[in-house]
């Protein structure tokens, strides 16, 4: 595991901060699945290209606030 991956305890604390609690016989299974998704989600987000300067967005990304 790399330093950038979330631990199971970190995922549980993050979920609890937003009011998501797991109870019942499947609580450990659901928390483990959420942990898997957090790791996969972070990997997918890391693959997205980031502009070096957020003020220089490409024109195709611009949406008029109407």
Task: Name the pTM for this structure.
Answer: 0.60
Rounded distance, CA 19 to CA 35, Å? Answer: 16
Distance in angstroms (rounded) separating the CA atoms of residues 65 and 7: 39
| Cβ atoms 38, 11 nearer than 8 A | yes
Instruction: Identify the residue with better confidence: 57 or 10.
Output: 10
Rg of the chain over CA atoms, in angstroms?
A: 17
The Cα–Cα gap between 10 and 59 comes to 38
pLDDT of residue 43: 84
Which of 2-6, 7-11, 14-18 has the least mean pLDDT? 2-6
């Amino acid at each position: 595991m790399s330093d950038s991956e979330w631990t199971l305890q970190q995922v549980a604390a993050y979920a609890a901060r937003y009011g998501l609690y797991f109870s019942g016989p499947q609580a450990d299974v659901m928390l483990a699945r959420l942990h898997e998704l957090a790791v996969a989600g972070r990997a997918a987000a890391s693959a997205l290209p980031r502009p070096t300067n957020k003020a220089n967005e490409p024109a195709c990304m611009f949406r008029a606030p109407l």
